Amino acid sequence: MQEIRLKARAKINLTLDVTGKQSNGYHIVQMIMQTISLYDDVYIKRIDKPIIRLKSNLDWLPTDEKNLAYKGARLLRDTFDIQEGIFIELNKKIPVAAGLAGGSADCAAVLVGINKLFHLGLSKKRLMELGVQLGADIPYCILQGTAVAEGIGEKLTPISEGCPFCYVLLAKPNISVSTASVYQKLHLNEIKQHPNTEQMLFQMKQKNIQEMGNLLCNVLETVTIPMYKEIALLKEKMMTLGAKGSVMSGSGPTVFGLFTDKLKAIEAGQIIKKKFGLRDVLVTKIWNKPQHKRRGF
Ligand code: ATP
């Protein structure tokens, strides 16, 4: 095999709670992660010249060691002494710096792809252990599906029932927020409403999308909403346009809404794009792993 093509899928957070802070500054979280159908195309090819070369459709995205996909390739090349060169091409469709883990998803796909292409024989668990060195969300992006993430996000419990199918409207305000600065500005003692993770998992099992909508909750909104009112306005608008619930994903600024009706989701997207003058408004879906792959790692 000389080349491989993979889909690097984005995630949303159905819940995001921060429960403490480690001495090294990392926050302790509890979040329900969910893969969605939106993906970047990742193409990997073996080349003779012993270099890592990265290309992407976004001319402003770094293509050197600052890119997480590059970092993933370098980690495996150096750890397993790969002598050949690696060419990676990213076709990015996941909005960047949006709270949708696009960079982590690309890195996860590169780790999985190089493992196959160079016959490294690494288990998923081993790839996840390697991936966490590059970012807390990378083990989840390797696992995919529905999972509870704890610790710094790397302790994962897969939820084998998965999330009930529904449509997901994504709307990214035209602003950039840095994940690190959002966590830095978070005041744990000022959080009034924490997500009810247990209840969310129960309603997910019941396939009750209406109740799940009511339980969507992200404590990082306490930082981002006072800074960017548009996040609250987008949530409200999605609700009046028929969403079962709406919340910010990750450290933002993307807001998503859950819809059971595809047409309503599309219409809401069109209205929101126009009203808020947004570039990135997309309707996608919940993505679950095939049934036989849902248990364990
Ligand atoms: P998370 O939810 O994990 O914080 P995010 O969706 O908020 O991630 P990303 O799209 O992963 O954010 O991008 C965050 C930063 O990482 C950007 O500033 C970008 O320059 C950098 N980056 C590095 N590699 C990539 C990549 N392959 N795709 C997108 N961004 C990347």
Q: pLDDT by residue (tens digit) across 240-265?
A: 999 999 999 999 999 999 999 999 99
Mean pLDDT (the chain) is 96
What is the number of alpha carbons within 13 Å of residue 235 lying toward its C-beta? 21
Confirm or reject: Cβ of 68 under 6 Å from ligand 1.
Answer: yes
Report whether 128 contacts 139 (CB < 8 A): yes
Across-strand partners of 29? 18
Token representation of residue 183: 């966590």
- Locus of tokens 């609700």: 239
Would you state the structure tokens that stand for residue 82, as one six-digit string?
């790969």
Amino acid at 181: S
Report the DSSP pairing between strands 85-91 and 52-56.
parallel
Residue whose Cα lies nearest atom 30 of ligand 1: it is: 103
137 is annotated as an active-site residue: yes
- Which among 17, 40, 106, 137 is annotated as catalytic? 137
Q: How many helices and strands (H and E) does the chain possess? A: 10, 11
CA of 208: how far to CAs of 163, 165, 201, 215, 244, in Å?
Answer: 10, 10, 10, 11, 10
Which residue is closest in CA terms to ligand 1's atom 15? 97
d(CA 261, CA 166) in angstroms, rounded, equals: 8
Give the tokens for residue 46.
């073996």
Radius of gyration of the chain, Cα coordinates, nearest whole angstrom: 19
pLDDT at 291: 83
In terms of DSSP bridges, do strands 3-21 and 27-47 run parallel, antiparallel, or are they unpaired?
antiparallel
Q: What is the mean pLDDT of residues 222-244?
A: 97
Q: Which atom of ligand 1 is nearest to the CA of 104?
A: 11
Closest CA to 46 of 112, 2, 95: 2
Write out the two tokens for 179.
């994940």
Instruction: For ligand 1, say whether the CB of 99 is within 6 Å of any of its atoms.
Output: yes
| pLDDT higher than threshold 90 for residue 110 | yes
Q: Is 94 helix (H, G, I), strand (E, B) or coil?
A: coil
| Ligand 1 atom nearest to 95, measured from its CA | 10
pTM over 0.75: yes
Asked whether residue 293 carries a pLDDT value surpassing 90, the answer given is: no
Any residues with CB less than 8 A from the CB of 15 and at least 6 apart, and which? 30, 31, 32, 195, 196, 197, 200, 215, 216, 217, 218
